[in-house]
Amino acid sequence: MTQEIFTQLAQSLIDGDPDATVDLTKKALADGVEPMAIIREGLMPGMNVVGDKFGCGEYYLPDLIIAADGMQQAMALLEPELRLRNQEVESAGTMVLGTVKGDIHEIGKTLVMTMLSASGFQVHDLGVDVAPERFVAKAREVHADLVGLSALLTTTMPGQRLVIEALDRDGLRPRVKVMVGGAPVSHAWAETIGADGYGEDAAAAVTLARRLVGRPVA
């Protein structure tokens, strides 16, 4: 039954039917399905198919935009539920987060933000297409423990290195730890650019952030 709704959710994104995505998300929540499972088992597989179809030329940009709209509307329903399930009183640390310059992909970054906030981090989300100087200025202003950099394009990954270099120039490294993520990013890339860690997904980002601020999950 639950598997069926995951399949339908994925299919609604593939079909470019945001109304169905929203209705199915509401139904899954009403049926007691965990919000993270809805994302992992339903929405993300659907987005991956959309991405693959775009990659091989079967889908065009409007198809990506419609699917992203469905995913974002679903996320707006899921975010409060994720927060409700993970409330911590004590602050775990302060993070400045954003998608690097030239890159406007925001869904994964926003999911990372939601999960970190729900785990007690104070997250300053700078949004998308963020220049290195803005990361540095915000990190200085809020005395950040962490800077989180998302990149979804191979062409914008070098933007993560530029932020690390800007933090270096400003003298904020190594006091501020840098974590990187996004579909084309890897452990090897994180090491190459001198980041402190790589998070494969939003849950891994929380584990990593806690380790980097010296508060690993027990």
Residues that bind ligand B1M (CB under 6 A): 44, 47-48, 50-52, 54-55, 61, 64-65, 68, 102-109, 111-112, 148-150, 152-155, 179-184, 199, 201-202, 205
Cβ nearer to ligand B1M, comparing 45 with 170: 45
Distances, alpha carbon 167 to alpha carbons 77, 86, 94, 110, in Å: 35, 31, 16, 23
Residues 48-76: b if buried by 16+ CB within 10 A, e if exposed: ebbeebeeeeebeeebbebbbebbeebbe
CB of 81 to ligand B1M, least distance (A): 16
Distances, alpha carbon 156 to alpha carbons 83, 108, 129, 166, 178, in Å: 30, 15, 10, 16, 16
Cβ nearer to ligand B1M, comparing 1 with 48: 48
How many residues does the structure list for the chain?
A: 218
Cβ nearer to ligand B1M, comparing 89 with 216: 216
Cβ nearer to ligand B1M, comparing 37 with 104: 104
